[in-house]
Copies of this chain bind each other. A is one copy, B any other.
């Protein structure tokens, strides 16, 4: 096939906020009232008009870079550099809001394809220029804030021009995608063929295929469509010392699965220049509904039963008591219920026959396990708002609230302990007034992920305050034997805990692979590899 490009251009995100600048909105008055009640009234507006530091890359290097990439694909203006500075974690936003753009790249380069990436990496290795691969810029773990010390400069490798559907095999149901494609662009390209990828993380509207692969992203429909890494059957990676092309079959016993070494490699081993993914027929019918559980434990046990009995729906999520209470609260009903229970969202997608059969089986089982159906309204509300939470974070940051999320995963037998100990660690550092909400966002036969949302007053030094809370929670995660991240990757923020999680031998393996593929160490220095 002729490579196909997506129909529309993606909107650039605001340099100090999440998402489409036109979609920003303040908190509704009722929510603002709640915030004031809980944390007091503090206006903390962002500093406007800050500029990144001057370009530090020497003129002769810039000239060389333009010769390699084409002058029109090397951008050094302040606005472009500001837009490619760090990601979108709360610490990233706090720094950007304070006018701190010190991590800005010296230049943003935009390769047009695999060969351009190869040429750039060769040039950067020769001249010892650090390179940060950049897809959607939605990273929340410091993965876009590479070290520049010891390097002649720092270049942002923006994949925005690499947005093609390169191949489609409707017999095998696979699609080969370039890494710069954002979530909605993938769905538009596949949708034209009646297909879907089915990958809908909260960052969906802005995150890219390359980022999904490089960070082992997981979407809100993972119960039905699987994690992104489970969708990948092949990939091409440009490294400073050569190209890797992997994936000659859906599964193989030809040695270790080297695809799994590039998935989750966060741009530190190479740049993914194409990813071949399994695709599915676009669902003809979708239905999302709410179920009420008397407790988080009862709802979790029901999720476990579905997973272990092979009865998973397409979407399956469960909020704990506190998250349910907050989400269900509309101001007029606060205090009306002492016992909101726990809300589960259950979604089914497929042909009408598939949806009917699976919904009947799942509903029967959930009822037997003690769940109460709440009908489609809570499910519909979830679907409509599911990409909106990061906008709400910006509004809360405007009003003096420190708000951030973190996530982990564990085996079922450790879920309760993990939930309790992370909550305790966050409250111990942020104060008993801190709001700590949690939901189970992804389920497996053997375990699940826990996704925490935290809100507290920003205080004098919100960066230090969050760093302390995050460290305490991360220690609690490792003490419980869980993973430091289920779907947000390592970046720079998780490095110390990641090193403990994989141990000394694991760290040495990563360093050996890094040294072999990137001997000059130019790729995302300081990210992933401890």
Contacts and interface: CB of A to CB of B under 8 A. Distances in A.
A326 interface: no
A254 B445 contact: no
A248 interface: yes
Interface in A169-201: 169, 171-174
A264 B174 CA distance: 25
Contact of A509 (B171, B254, B309, B513): B513
Contacts of A227: 251
A274 B239 CA distance: 34
A528 B174 CA distance: 29
Interface string A473-514: 000000001111111111000100010011111101111110
Interface in A206-241: 215-218, 227, 229, 233, 239, 241
A252 B412 contact: no
Contacts of A251: 216, 218, 227, 229, 409, 442, 444, 449, 486
Contacts of A324: none
A250 interface: yes
A506 B516 CA distance: 10
Interface stretch (A6-14, A33-41, A255-263, A336-344): A255-263
Contact of A254 (B171, B173, B261, B494): B494
Between A414, A446, A483, the greatest number of chain B beta carbons within 10 A of the residue's beta carbon is seen for A446
Interface residues of A, number: 91
Contacts of A413: 169, 171-172
Contacts of A269: 256
B516 A241 contact: no
A410 interface: yes
A51 interface: no
Interface string A423-449: 000000000000000000010111111
A227 to B, nearest CB: 6
Contacts of A138: none
A370 interface: no
A302 to B, nearest CB: 14
Given A243-B505, A265-B255, A510-B255, A250 B409 contact: yes
Nearest to A512: B516
B444 A242 contact: no
A530 to B, nearest CB: 10
Interface in A257-308: 257-258, 260-266, 269, 278, 280-281, 304, 308
Interface string A343-372: 000000010001001000100000000000
Contacts of A215: 253
A252 B509 contact: no
Contacts of A50: none
Given A254-B494, A512-B512, 19 more contacts: A171-B413, A172-B413, A173-B308, A174-B446, A216-B252, A229-B251, A241-B508, A248-B410, A249-B411, A251-B442, A254-B264, A255-B265, A256-B510, A257-B261, A260-B261, A278-B445, A357-B361, A512-B515, A512-B516
12 contacts: A171-B412, A244-B502, A244-B503, A246-B502, A251-B486, A253-B489, A254-B483, A255-B502, A257-B264, A261-B509, A281-B308, A512-B516
